Amino acid sequence: MKHRSTITGVNVIVDGIGNIGSCEFKQADVSFLELDQETGIGKRTVTTPLFESLDVEYKFQSIPANIYKEMAKLDEAKVTVKRTMKTGVSNDVEEWQCRGGMSIKYGNSKPGEFLDVTVTQKGLSTYYHELNDEVITNIDHDKGIGEHGGVDHAKHMRQSLQ
Mean pLDDT, contiguous 10-residue spans, the chain (162 residues): 80 78 88 87 85 91 79 88 89 94 89 88 95 94 89 75 62
The sign of the dihedral angle between the CA atoms of 139, 145, 151, 154 is: positive
pLDDT at residue 102, as a whole number: 92
Range of the domain at 15: 5-161
Q: What is the pTM of this model?
A: 0.82
Beta carbons within 10 angstroms of residue 102's beta carbon: 21
CATH number of the domain enclosing 94: 2.30.110
pLDDT at residue 75, as a whole number: 86
pLDDT at residue 74, as a whole number: 85
Amino acid at 121: Q
Radius of gyration of the chain (CA): 19
Number of domains making up the chain: 1
pLDDT at residue 161, as a whole number: 61
Cβ neighbors of 72 (< 8 A, separation 6 or more) are none
pLDDT at residue 79, as a whole number: 92
Q: Helix or strand or coil: residue 41?
A: coil
